[in-house]
Amino acid sequence: MAYSSIWTDLIGMTFSQKWVQAGTIRTRCLEAGDRNKPTLVFIHGTGGHAEAYVRNIGPHSEHFHVYVIDMVGHGFSDKPDQTYNFIDFVYHLRDFLDAEGIDRVSISGESMGAGIAAWFARTYPDRVDKIVLNTGAALRLEQAVVERLASLSIDAVRNASEETVRKRLEFLMKDPQDVTEDMVQTRLAIYRQPELVDRMPKIFEARHTDPKGQDRNCLTEEHWRDFKPPTLVLWTSDDPTAPIEAGKQVADWIPDSRFEVMDDCGHWPQYEDAETFNKIHLDFLLGRDAAA
């Protein structure tokens, strides 16, 4: 496999890393693009961080003012002792946007990030242009999936090493060779933060391991049929958390939706096949014909 680096992914684009005081949460983000253009926010999945989108920031910043946020409890943002339900992430995102003076956004979320995007659109519909649900939709996951993901994540934090972090990242990819050394070292630095040892179990408890967590956080057919913003539901051929049919069902429920499937990808299509993802994604956000 040819050598790949986060820095080679970012070559040729202007971006900044900064920390924003979002309410009580010191929040790390990457920012790119003209602030006079429409705002697009990318949101990572459970246990993730902004580097999940290093292959997407540049192409999208040509058309949008782009933020990639480390959500509360994740990445290099603050990790307070609090609940971590979807609504808690929604309030964090709201406070971030308020701090940056952003009134209206499009939101693209992967996995947990898709759930946050959906919940934000339901909570603050007047602040949303378009939504992308990428391999996630605040779905009820099979218990075996929850247990595997929780086990890999908690082990990678409690016993942080190149091996445990690599196993956690390999869960995301159809081809394990897509896990680069740069990504392993970045996530290892994040997972070695002492406070994350206490927070990761709480993050999983909020939505999955607490018997009532799914009831509090998962969206139902009734919710989706009342969903307002234009929505892209983007799934993959080899997603390890839910089958294509689950994503198609959500898309069918949403009044204004587009459904796309990316082949030969797992849970990180924006990273595994960035070229295809960026085209599908931008076609939707810019209102272009998908066949163009």
Any domain includes 196: no
Strand partners, 107: 41, 131
Residue appearing with tokens 């247990």: 147
Using DSSP's 3-state secondary structure scheme, residue 51 falls into helix
Closest CA to 120 of 95, 156, 100, 157: 95
d(CA 61, CA 40): 9
Q: Report yes or no on 190 lying in a domain.
A: no
Q: What is the pLDDT of residue 212?
A: 83
Please state, in angstroms and rounded to a whole number, the distance separating the CA atoms of residues 246 and 243.
Answer: 6
d(CA 31, CA 282): 18
> Is residue 77 one of the residues assigned to a domain?
yes
Residue type, 183: M
Q: Does residue 114 fall inside a structural domain? A: yes
Residue 215 belongs to a domain: no
List the pLDDT tens digit at each of the 292 positions of the chain: 566 788 889 988 999 999 999 999 999 999 999 999 999 999 999 999 999 999 999 999 999 999 999 999 999 999 999 999 999 999 999 999 999 999 999 999 999 999 999 999 999 999 999 999 999 999 988 889 988 999 999 999 999 999 999 999 999 999 999 999 999 999 999 999 999 999 998 998 887 777 788 889 999 999 999 999 999 999 999 999 999 999 999 999 999 999 999 999 999 999 999 999 999 999 999 998 865 5
For residue 23, is it left (φ>0), alpha (ψ between -120 and 50) or beta? left
Contact 64, 39 (CB under 8 A): yes
Q: Residues 6 or more apart from 133 whose CB is under 8 A from it?
A: 109, 114, 117, 118, 231, 232, 233, 234, 247, 250
Q: Residue 277's domain spans which residues?
A: 6-142+220-285
Report yes or no on 156 lying in a domain: no
CATH code where residue 59 lies: 3.40.50.1820
Report the alpha-carbon distance of residue 28 to residue 41 in Å, rounded: 13
How many domains does the structure of the chain reveal?
1
Q: Which residue(s) pair with 31 in the sheet?
A: 16, 67
pLDDT at 289: 80
Question: Can you tell me whether residue 133 is helix, strand or coil?
Answer: strand
Q: How far apart (Å, rounded) are the C-alpha atoms in residues 262 and 280? A: 9
Q: What gap in Å lies between CA 56 and CA 281, rounded to an integer?
A: 10
User: Helix H segments across the chain?
Assistant: 6-9, 57-61, 86-100, 112-123, 143-158, 162-170, 181-191, 196-204, 213-217, 221-225, 244-253, 269-272, 274-285
Partners of 264 in beta bridges: none
Contacts for 240 with CB less than 8 Å, ≥ 6 apart:
145, 171, 172, 266, 267
